[in-house]
Structure 1
Amino acid sequence: MAPVNFPIKVALLGAGIFAKEAHLPVLTSNPGVFQLVAVYSKSEASAQSVVDILPAGHPHAKPSVFHDSSAQNLEALLANPSIDAVVIALPIPLQPKIISAALAAGKHVFSEKPQAPSVAEGFALLKAYEPYEAQGLVWQVAENFRAEPAIRHGQKVVRDLIAKSGAGSEIRAFDLRTYFYNKAENKYCKTTWRANAEFQGGFVLDGGVHFLALLRAVTGLEPERVTAFTRLTESHLAPLDSVSAAIQLRNGALGTWLLYFMAPQKGAQIELNVVVSGGASGPGGMVTVKLGDDGQGHNGWVVIENLPGAEPQTTFYDNKGVEEEFLGWAKVLGGVTPGDVLPGLVNQTTVGYTEPFFNSARNALGDVALAEAVLQSGEKGGVPTQVQRVI
């Protein structure tokens, strides 16, 4: 399949919080890269609510509205030959069916995480994608944590530290701590499909794949097995809001993941510490990636390099994960040579990388596999559980 011409003609499927607050700003602030030509939601009012918040002075024509109660429905949208690609931001249980339909209609796909509510459904999607991938259709699963400049930098720091420390150096231990204060009035908690979660784990799967993507990205390692305890403490977060898990990686490294969605605090805490052992030519060290600020109240992410005998080195990064993943997808669709720029953008290399960011559906399923193993172990009261091998 030939590269897509710019601007890429995109349809946004979904009109929820993240579609409006994260996807729409990227699609509309890069008119040389994307042209939003259609918006779909279950109801007309919902789809129209996206069109109504388009920024004033946007250079492209207003997108067409598609909804279930008219001939201008999802089927009609997917049949429209002028649409190059779709961005799918729909409830988790709907994702597999819609992804399959979009691929069958010949559309490139950018789908929100997780792509499926279970590993089994994820494997079925991968199998179904094979003929479309062979035809040149591109499917990326969104994972803005993995795309964050800080997290990509953290991965590089760990990799470089192991190389610098020499033979015998490796990741030995880690701890991942994730604490939030999601009260009943939280906008995500009030979302109907989340409040009435009809998929395993509820918020633990929906949010958990972000944090497990952080772990897998920075360490560059795959999990082997887990022992986990899970619990529900607040009814509005059913079925689960708490996780305490011990995780063994394939290289033998041991670590923990603590997750609690009702920790009374301002903001959120997300912190990953990775211990790298010494080797033949260096003492190793510890690398931390966490939410933080620049010392002047500007929130984002920080990477801390803590090496023996040296003062810790801290680097701050803005939140740019959603933008990075969209622009990476666009580069692949447009056949843009690594290192070259996209049309109409000024700052395109926020982390000094020349390769475009891309999160494959198989890689994203690895996050679901780890989350599912945690949930299965928790259901069995902490019985050690193997993580299904995806990669």
Structure 2
Amino acid sequence: MSPPTRQGFAIFGAGIFATEAYIPALAALGKAAPPLKAVYSRSAKSAEGFSAAAVTALGIPAPDVYHDGENGGGVDAILARKDISSVLIVLPIPVQPSIILKALQAGKHVLSEKPVAPDVAGGINLIEQCRSEFQGKGLVWRVAENYEVEPGIQEVGRLIGNGAIGKVIGFKACILNYVSKDSKYYKTPWRTVPEYQGGFLVDGGVHTIAVLRVLLPQPITHLSSFASLNKEYLAPHDTIHAIAKASSHYSGTLEMTFAFPTTSKPVSAKDAYVVTGTEGYAAISIDGGFIKAILTTEKKETVVKEKMRGVELELGSFFDAADSKEGIEPFGNPVDALKDVAFIEAALKSNGALVDLGLLVHGLE
């Protein structure tokens, strides 16, 4: 008797990241991924383009195309299909929460792109509703934060946690991004006039907070920050300067901007993250598709260099969890993803006042 046919999955969203990150990740997974059955986009053109790209890269039959408008089928038509058990949601930030709920209500497993929601209040409502309606029903919902699962970040976090640089006494993150009006990401209509706080700071900034979440042995609990806008086309904000405290153990600083004036960066910013300990330090950079780190003490130097594979690993882990396989890493926890949003939101609103991050997400643990 032949084994039962494995149910497939659909992708909601056919934009830049879905095409340039998800398709290569699926190609790397190969047969470890279930069959891609369908793709949805708001426009027929983008859905058809994604379907064609998937055929070429994955060597699969063309995924069915769904879109808004006349004869497009839309989201509901995909969710009604019995041969689709999982959906990957790669849609604009403001619309994702409603689609997450709709997919779970249809009995589908869900992997939704970061951030978990546009703001903390919306994220809390989403998580509480999901717990109320779907807990115990065997459905998987994970948030796709690829930096959280990067092997290089994970390895450095393990080394720091195991005392490779002694007891942590401080940290810094310096993230300098140049975004021009010609950037392919800026030209995305929903990013050009964002309907959510912080613009690129929320969209891309949660990656930075996720990295700190993995690197630091204790969670960040408080911050004081100032936010500013330096390039009008990046409204509402493009820069954050913050001082943050991790539990009662140590503090650090964060400089994050998407308004850097040049594509080149100063030598002092080569290491995007530095974690200082009582016996040494770890300097971590993300460059050219690699995570690079040097952990240095008076007695030893440890070098970590890992190719970035986060999207591939988060997809594979999600598919395994959806298939109820045992021993799956618990990546993509929506509460952890919400804490990343809470940091950015607090940094945007602090205006120098001390903010207790725990109060923002109180009661969700």
Q: TM-score, normalised by structure 1?
A: 0.85
Partner of 1:384: 354
Going from structure 1 to structure 2, the CA distance change for 1:314 and 1:95 (only over 3 Å counts) comes to same
> Does 1:336 find its partner at 2:333?
no
Please give the alpha-carbon distance, in whole angstroms, between the structure 1 residues aligned to 2:290 and 2:234: 26
Partner of 1:13: 12
State the shift of 1:154 in Å.
1.0
Please give the alpha-carbon distance, in whole angstroms, between the structure 1 residues aligned to 2:348 and 2:57: 47
CA contact (8 A) 1:23 1:322 kept: yes
State the shift of 1:55 in Å.
4.3
- Alignment gaps of 5+ in structure 1: 278-283, 293-297, 339-354
Counterpart AA for 2:286: L
Per-residue Cα deviation, 1:337-375 (whole angstroms, up to 9, x for no partner): 43xxxxxxxxxxxxxxxx536221111111011111111
Partner of 2:332: 359
Going from structure 1 to structure 2, the CA distance change for 1:157 and 1:276 (only over 3 Å counts) comes to same
State the shift of 1:315 in Å.
1.7
**Runs of 4+ displaced beyond 4 Å:** 5-8, 267-270
Q: How does 1:128-167 map to 2 (within 5 A)?
A: 128-130=129-131, 131-161=133-163, 165=166
CA contact (8 A) 2:55 2:62 kept: no
- Alignment gaps of 5+ in structure 2: none
State the shift of 1:220 in Å.
3.6
Q: 2:203 aligns with which of 203, 206, 210?
A: 206
State the shift of 1:29 in Å.
4.3
Matched residue SS, 2:56: coil
> Does 1:82 find its partner at 2:83?
yes
Going from structure 1 to structure 2, the CA distance change for 1:28 and 1:63 (only over 3 Å counts) comes to farther
Partner of 1:345: none
Please give the alpha-carbon distance, in whole angstroms, between the structure 2 residues aligned to 1:304 and 1:133: 42
State the shift of 1:54 in Å.
2.2
Per-residue Cα deviation, 1:181-236 (whole angstroms, up to 9, x for no partner): 11110111111101101101111111110000001111142222111111111122
Partner of 1:236: 233
Please give the alpha-carbon distance, in whole angstroms, between the structure 1 residues aligned to 2:291 and 2:21: 17
Matched residue SS, 1:305: strand
Please give the alpha-carbon distance, in whole angstroms, between the structure 2 residues aligned to 1:180 and 1:233: 13
Counterpart AA for 2:331: F
CA contact (8 A) 1:6 1:34 kept: no
Between 1:251-260 and 1:186-195, the stretch displaced more is: 251-260
Matched residue SS, 2:134: helix
Counterpart AA for 2:324: G
Partner of 1:371: 344
Q: TM-score, normalised by structure 2?
A: 0.90
Counterpart AA for 1:218: L
> What do you get for the CA RMSD once the two structures are aligned?
2.1
